[in-house]
C-alpha cells in the first residue's frame, strides 16, 4: 500500500484575510515584526486574557489614557512636557476623545473578534521592503505585552500573536494593495483577487471548499527553460481534458503532445501562475475539475516510482490519498474525488504513456529542482 499525504491547506469559503496597519505612521512596524504580533495603537492598554475589550469596565478610561500618550509622543516639543499619568483613575473625569467608539471597536476587533486562523497581512510602506503575513492566534490565547520602538520605546502595547509567520516582498503585490494602506482605518478586509493572491503567496498549495484547488511546484534551479513550463502545462492540460472527456462520456484518445496545442476553454481550463528566478514557483489553479491535486499526486509519485509501478498501484487499488491539513468535516469528499480522478487518469493514460510522463517529470525535476510539498509512505 502506498499513501500520498497531499499536505494541502483546506480553507472554508468565508476564511478571512485582513490588513492590520501597524499604528499611526507605521510606528509599530518594527515591534510587530520582532514580536510577530498585531495590536491596537493604544499605549498601556491592558485587557485581561479572554476578556472582550468592547465590554471591559474601564475601557473608556484606558482609551483616554492611550490618546493622552499618543498626543504626548507626537513631536519633539510635546515630548518635552512631562509624560502623562499612567494611573487610570486620573482619566475618569477627562473629556472623551473624538472617535472613542472607533478606538474601542478596533481594539475589540484586533484582540478578540477577528477569527482564529484568519490570514493577517501587516504591510510595509517601503516598496523595496517586506511585509509580514501570518495566521491569527485564538482570542482565548495569552496576549502579549511589548514595548514600542524609537520615541515609543517607553510605551507598552497589548497584542495578539501571529503563527506560521512569513515575510513577503512588497514588490510582489499589485497596485490594488496600496490604497487601503494609506487610509486611516487600522483594519481592512481583502476580498476577491487580492484575497486569493495572499492565499497563493502564503499557502502555496491550498483548496477553497467547493471552489478551487491550487498546487504549488517549487523551483530551485538557477534556470528554467521554456520546455520545462511546457511539460507542466501539457501535463496539466492532459489531466484536465481527460477528466472532462470521461465525465462527458467522450472516448476519444488524447496524448501529451496533443494536449500542448489544445485551445483552452477560458471559463473552465486550469490557470498557471509562474514566479521564476534563481528560485521561484509554478502554481496550477483548477476550478471546475480537480486537475491541480491530481497533478500533485502524479508529480510526487513520478519522482519515486516508474510509470509501470504507478500503473500497478492503481490496478491493484493500492494507492491511497490522505491530507494532514484537511478541514474537519469537509475534506473526506474532496479526497475521495481526487483519489477516484487519479485512478481514472492513470487508467485512461495507460502504462506506456505513464512511462513517458514519468520520464518528462523527472527531466523537469533534474533541470529545475521542481517538486511538490507532499509525502509518500510505502507500507512494507
Could you read off the pLDDT tens digit of each residue along the chain, which spans 380 residues?
999 999 999 999 999 999 999 999 999 999 999 999 999 999 999 999 999 999 998 999 999 999 999 999 999 999 999 999 999 999 988 888 778 899 999 999 999 999 999 999 999 999 899 999 999 999 999 999 999 999 999 999 999 999 999 999 999 888 888 888 888 789 999 998 899 999 999 999 999 988 899 999 999 888 888 888 999 999 999 999 998 888 888 777 788 888 888 888 878 889 988 887 657 889 999 987 789 999 999 999 999 999 999 999 999 999 999 999 988 777 788 889 899 999 999 999 999 999 999 999 999 999 999 999 999 999 86
Number of domains in the chain: 2
Residues 24 and 145 reside in one and the same domain: yes
End of a domain among 161, 189, 217? 189
The pLDDT value given to residue 22: 96
Look at residue 149 and tell me if it is in a domain.
Answer: yes
The pLDDT value given to residue 277: 63
Phi-psi region of 185 (alpha: psi -120 to 50; beta: other; left: phi over 0): beta
Look at residue 195 and tell me if it is in a domain.
Answer: no
> Residue 111 has what DSSP assignment?
I
**d(C-alpha 360, C-alpha 83), whole Å:** 69
The pLDDT value given to residue 278: 57
Look at residue 198 and tell me if it is in a domain.
Answer: no
Look at residue 165 and tell me if it is in a domain.
Answer: yes
Look at residue 197 and tell me if it is in a domain.
Answer: no
Residues 26 and 157 reside in one and the same domain: yes
The pLDDT value given to residue 182: 81
The pLDDT value given to residue 342: 96
CB 160 within 8 A of CB 38: yes
Residues 227 and 164 reside in one and the same domain: no
Look at residue 160 and tell me if it is in a domain.
Answer: yes
The pLDDT value given to residue 326: 86
Residues 81 and 175 reside in one and the same domain: yes
Residues 153 and 43 reside in one and the same domain: yes
Residues 167 and 69 reside in one and the same domain: yes
Residues 164 and 35 reside in one and the same domain: yes
Residues 216 and 166 reside in one and the same domain: no
Structural domain span for residue 172: 17-189
Residues 283 and 326 reside in one and the same domain: yes
**d(C-alpha 308, C-alpha 140), whole Å:** 52
The pLDDT value given to residue 380: 64
| DSSP E strand stretches across the chain | 2-5, 9-11, 17-20, 37-38, 119-122, 130-136, 144-147, 156-169, 187-189, 206-208, 212-219, 271-275, 280-286, 319-322, 371-372, 375-378
Look at residue 138 and tell me if it is in a domain.
Answer: yes
Residues 350 and 221 reside in one and the same domain: yes
Look at residue 199 and tell me if it is in a domain.
Answer: no
Residues 157 and 258 reside in one and the same domain: no
Residues 281 and 306 reside in one and the same domain: yes
Amino acid at each position: 500500500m502506498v499513501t500520498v499525504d497531499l499536505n494541502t491547506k483546506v480553507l472554508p469559503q468565508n476564511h478571512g484575510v485582513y490588513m492590520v496597519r501597524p499604528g499611526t505612521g507605521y510606528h509599530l512596524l518594527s515591534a510587530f515584526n520582532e514580536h510577530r504580533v498585531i495590536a491596537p495603537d493604544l499605549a498601556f492598554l491592558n485587557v485581561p486574557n479572554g476578556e472582550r475589550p468592547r465590554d471591559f469596565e474601564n475601557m473608556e478610561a484606558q482609551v483616554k489614557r492611550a490618546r493622552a500618550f499618543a498626543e504626548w509622543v507626537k513631536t519633539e516639543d510635546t515630548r518635552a512636557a512631562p509624560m502623562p499619568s499612567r494611573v487610570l483613575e486620573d482619566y475618569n473625569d477627562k473629556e472623551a476623545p473624538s472617535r472613542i467608539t472607533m478606538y474601542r471597536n478596533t481594539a475589540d476587533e484586533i484582540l478578540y473578534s477577528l477569527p482564529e486562523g484568519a490570514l493577517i497581512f501587516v504591510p510595509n510602506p517601503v516598496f523595496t521592503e517586506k511585509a509580514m503575513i501570518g495566521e491569527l492566534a485564538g482570542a482565548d490565547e495569552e496576549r502579549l505585552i511589548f514595548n514600542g520602538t524609537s520615541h515609543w520605546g517607553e510605551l507598552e502595547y497589548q497584542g495578539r500573536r501571529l503563527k506560521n509567520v512569513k515575510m513577503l516582498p512588497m514588490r510582489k503585490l499589485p497596485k490594488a494593495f496600496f490604497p487601503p494602506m494609506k487610509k486611516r482605518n487600522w483594519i481592512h478586509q481583502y476580498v476577491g483577487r487580492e484575497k486569493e493572491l495572499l492565499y497563493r503567496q502564503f499557502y502555496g498549495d491550498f483548496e477553497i471548499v467547493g471552489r478551487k484547488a491550487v498546487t504549488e511546484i517549487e523551483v530551485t534551479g538557477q534556470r528554467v527553460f521554456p520546455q520545462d513550463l511546457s511539460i507542466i502545462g501539457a501535463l496539466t492540460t492532459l489531466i484536465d481534458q481527460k477528466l472532462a472527456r470521461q465525465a462527458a462520456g467522450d472516448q476519444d484518445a488524447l496524448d501529451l503532445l496533443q494536449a500542448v496545442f489544445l485551445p483552452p476553454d477560458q471559463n473552465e481550463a486550469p490557470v498557471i501562475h509562474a514566479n521564476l528566478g534563481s528560485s521561484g514557483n509554478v502554481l496550477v489553479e483548477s476550478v471546475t475539475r480537480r486537475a491541480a491535486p491530481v497533478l500533485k499526486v502524479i508529480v510526487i509519485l513520478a519522482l519515486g516510482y516508474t510509470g509501470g509501478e504507478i500503473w500497478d498501484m492503481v490496478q491493484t487499488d493500492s494507492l491511497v490519498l490522505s491530507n494532514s491539513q484537511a478541514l474537519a468535516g469537509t475534506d473526506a469528499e474532496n479526497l475521495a474525488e481526487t483519489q477516484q480522478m487519479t485512478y481514472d487518469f492513470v487508467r485512461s493514460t495507460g502504462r506506456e504513456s505513464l512511462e513517458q510522463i514519468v520520464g518528462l517529470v523527472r527531466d523537469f525535476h533534474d533541470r529545475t529542482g521542481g517538486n511538490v510539498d507532499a509525502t509518500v509512505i510505502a507500507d512494507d
